[in-house]
Each structure stands twice: as C-alpha cells, then as structure tokens.
A and B are shown apart, each in its own frame.
Chain A
Amino acid sequence: MRTQSLDNFCAWIEQTPLSQTIQVTAWSVPAVQTIHILAISAIMASVLMLNLRLLGVIGVDRSIAEVSARIRPVIWWTLPILLVSGVLLIVGEPVRSLENPIFQLKMLMLISVIVLTLAYQAPLNKNSKFWDGGGRRSITIKLISIVSLALWIAIVCAGRWIAYV
C-alpha cells in the first residue's frame, strides 16, 4: 500500500527534529534495534513456554490459567518497549518501514496475534479451568497455540525482511 497521503506523512516525519537526530546519529539505529530484539526475546520465550504448555508438551503439572497468569504480565510489560523502540525505528526511516509491504504485513500479523491472545484468555476470567480437560476444547486450544506460534515466527521473520524489500 502506497498513497499520496502516506508519502506526505513520511515526508513530514522525516523533517521532525527527532527523525533528524536519529538520521545523523549513527549508533542510534543499531542501539534501538538491540533493545527491540531483546524485548522480542522476552516475548518469544514467554510465548513459546505458554504455547508449549497449551500443546501439553511442558509444565503439565500446572493449569493453563496458572501458566497464562504468570506469563501475561511479561507480554503486556514488554509490548510497550517493543512499541516505543519500533516507533523510533519508524521515525528514523519512515519510508523504509511504513511504505514497505512486509512491514504492513508484519503489523497485520501482530494485530491478529494480539486479538487471538485476548480471545483465548477471555473465557479464563470467568472459568479458570475453561481450557483444561479433554474433548473439543482441548483440540481448539492446541490449534490456537499452533496458529499463534506460527504468527509470532512469521512476525520475527518479517521484521528482518523489512531490510531487504
């Protein structure tokens, strides 16, 4: 997606003092990228542990609600760090990101995985054992976890591919 108004928006960002500073400070981009990757590390490890539990591979001595509850704060505290570092990277090079189809795909996948996470966590507030036990629900939660893991993997790959498209 590339429109005249997006072009104008990028041009406006590029001449802001913050963008100018990032553009002339050579170390700023790798430094912010490092923080971005470290935040992704916290999310990826948490998401992996959570999804392996949903799949019944590890930590089965704890309920899904318990594992979700301990991992949820990591995800919600790390997302703002990702957001701020990501926005700084966009401000430094708006055309490279905002007008990049891979970046747009990455944002779409990010929104999808957040919606999916909120959707499966919602029933746990009313009934903490909602996803525990067998039957159709156990298949549903396994499918959700596979889709969620695939989305997170694709999000990280897309992040690196932004540099090449």
Chain B
Amino acid sequence: MGLDGVFQWLYATTAGAVIRENESLFPWLESFHVLAITVVVGSIAIVDLRLLGIASLDRAVTRLTRDVLPCTWIAFAVAAVTGSLMFISNAVNYAHNFYFQLKILMLVLAGINMMFFQFFVSRDIENWGISASTTPLRARFAGGASLILWVFVVAFGRWIGFTLQPHLIGG
C-alpha cells in the first residue's frame, strides 16, 4: 500500500466520514484550529522577539520561556489534533494540495530549527543574562528563522482553503 493507499484508508475511516458529512463539525474543528494557531504563533513570536533582542529585554530568556512555552505546547497539541481530524476528512485531496505540502514543509523546518535551538543554540542559555546584547548571534538567527517560518505556516494554511478541490471548506 503506497502513501495514497494510506490516505484513502484514512478518508474511509468512520471518523473521516463523520467529519465530512456533519455540517457543523468541520467549521468547529477549523475554528479551534485557527484559535490554537493564533496562540502558537503569538506565543512563539514573544520568544522569537526576545531572542532577536527586540522585546521583553528586561527578562531572562529562561524566565520568559518558562511562562510562555507551556501555552505554546498546549496550543500546538490542539492545533495538531484538530488539523489531523480535518486532514482525514479529505485526506487524498489535502495530501495532493501544493499549499498543504508547503505548510507541512514549513512545520518540519520549524521543528528542525527548534531542535537545533534546544541542542546547540541554547547550550549556554543560563549565561545569556537579561540584556539584549547578550543573546548570541546564533540565537538571533534561530529566532528570526522561527518568526519567518510561522508566518508562512499561517499563509499556506489560508491558501489551502482557497485551492482545495473539491471545495469542501469555506474561504
């Protein structure tokens, strides 16, 4: 069974059929998907702007991430679950949609950037202190990359809604 076989199987699952056939389920999933993404993107931007030395300069990065990142992760989980449920309702078409593929690529790159930050960039994070000049160049680079990638995640996500065939979802 190739990838398309997997997508067809997902499409045919009970969950896929229920979401496809229920009139209000998809809009609710989409509502909470957008809501979760706004929290993910907004909260990550707080951290990115701190790494770039633009905002929250009076707080240490470690102090800031302790407050912000739990919200990011909870919201990311909600976005992933609602996104997966929307995906299975029309799996083959999503998988073949160019903007969906780009969105997934952006997510993967954002994930790699985050792992890079976790294991390489932040190794001496305790010594960064609280002034803007103490964030190393590699941390600024990671923050800038994250900001750009998440903007594209939102943009490509919106473009899916206007290009998906058949037109099951609202614009």
A interface residues (Cβ-Cβ under 8 A, vs B): 26, 29-31, 33-34, 37-38, 40-46, 48-49, 52, 58-59, 70, 153, 156-157, 159-161, 163-164
Contact = CB atoms under 8 A, between A and B. Distances in A.
A160 B36 CA distance: 13
Interface in B35-71: 35, 37-39, 41-43, 45-46, 56, 67-68, 71
Q: Which 5 pairs, one residue from A and one from B, show the smallest C-beta to C-beta distance?
A: A45-B42, A163-B170, A41-B42, A157-B31, A41-B41
Contacts of B159: 30
Contact of B45 (A30, A33, A41, A157): A41
Interface in B90-147: none
Contacts, number: 85
Contact of B67 (A34, A42, A59, A70): A59
B34 A159 contact: yes
A164 B161 CA distance: 13
Interface in B1-46: 24, 27-28, 30-32, 34-35, 37-39, 41-43, 45-46
Contact of A37 (B24, B37, B45, B171): B37
Contacts of A43: 38, 42
A163 B27 contact: yes
14 contacts: A31-B155, A33-B158, A37-B158, A41-B154, A44-B42, A45-B39, A45-B43, A49-B46, A153-B35, A157-B35, A160-B170, A161-B27, A161-B31, A164-B27
A52 B34 CA distance: 20
Main secondary structure of the interface of B (DSSP, over half): helix
Contacts of B71: 45, 48-49, 52
A41 B157 CA distance: 14
B151 interface: yes
Contacts of B169: 163
Interface of B: 24, 27-28, 30-32, 34-35, 37-39, 41-43, 45-46, 56, 67-68, 71, 151, 154-155, 158-159, 161-162, 169-171
Nearest to A30: B158
A123 B68 CA distance: 27
Given A34-B155, A42-B45, A46-B42, A160 B27 contact: yes
A156 B171 contact: no
A47 B34 CA distance: 16
Q: Which of B24, B34, B41, B42 has the most CB of A within 10 A?
A: B42
Contact of B34 (A26, A37, A48): A37
Contacts of B27: 160-161, 163-164
B37 A41 contact: yes
Given A161-B31, A163-B27, A37 B38 contact: yes
Contacts of B46: 45, 49
Given A33-B158, A49-B46, A41 B31 contact: no
